[in-house]
Every structure is written in C-alpha cells, then in structure tokens.
A = this chain, B = another copy of it.
Amino acid sequence: MASAANVSSPDKVPVLTAEVLLAHWQGHRRLTRRMIEAFPEDKLFSFSVGGMRPFSELAMEFVKMAAPIACGVATGKWTSFGEAASPKTKAALLALWDQSTEEINAVWPTIPAHRFAEVDKAFGQWENSGINTILYAIDNETHHRGQGYVYLRALGIEPPAFYDRS
C-alpha cells in the first residue's frame, strides 16, 4: 500500500511504454484471430445480427487500419484507407492477418519517439496524436470484436475467452 510520501501528481507520469503497448495490441490481435477461426466458413462471410456487417468485413476493417496506422505513425506516410482487396476464404483472411502481424512488428521499433505525441492526419483524414490513433485502432477492434461475440452466441458457438490474449 502506498505511503503519502509516494504520492505525486500523475499528470505527466508516463504509464505505458511502446514495448508494453505493442504487446497489448498484439494480444488483442491474437484474440481477434481466434474469433475469425471460431466462425464457420460460410457464417464468417454472411452472418450478422441487426443488419450489421458480417465478421469478415469487420476483420478486414481491422486489417486495413492496423499495419497502415503503425506505418503512418512511424513515417508520416499514409496509404489510402481501404486499399486492400477483401479475401474470399477464411484461410486467405487469416494469411492477411498474419502478414499484418509481421508488418506491425517490423515497423514498430522504427517509430520515432516523438511521433507518439505528435499530431498528424491519419489517412489524410483523421487528425490526432500518434498514440490516440493507435489506441483508436485497438478500441475499434475491441468494439467490433465484441459485436462478433454476439454473432457467435446467436449461432450457438462458444466464443474464445475474452481475457486470454496468449
């Protein structure tokens, strides 16, 4: 337990390093990969609730954001959002997923320290700091993956454990 002497204003306290953030993000991405695997092939590309997009389209949104955001924060160069063609099979989607994983890991150590706080226009459209753009990508994945959990439950399929990021 903390003593009063340990207490300091946390306003400028760094709470997260780039290393921990990458591990956090890739943990989320491993869980999302298991979600893709959990869908039956046909349902992955067709099933939805309430007129929302099937999980394959949500997963492709994550692919289109993830590595391009890591690269954009690293270099200031933004590829057009949504350039990647959509795969037609689960295997092709998973291959694209794994390629993104490698791209993120490769570009991450090249991100200049100042770029996390620096404000840039992601994809030429969304103005935010590098850290907030990365957090948005993680949040967006978590948000839509939660949607995918409902799809699986509605299909009578037990989704992967949310807390397991191994």
Interface set of A (CB-CB < 8 Å, partner B): 1-2, 6-21, 24, 28, 49-52, 74-77, 108-117, 130-132, 135-136, 139-140, 142-147, 149-155, 162-163
Contacts and interface: CB of A to CB of B under 8 A. Distances in A.
A28 to B, nearest CB: 7
A131 B2 contact: no
Contacts of A16: 14-16, 21, 116, 131
Contact of A139 (B11, B28, B77, B155): B28
B19 A112 contact: no
A114 B13 CA distance: 9
Given A12-B19, A17-B13, A143-B162, A153 B52 contact: yes
Given A143-B142, A153-B49, A15 B8 contact: no
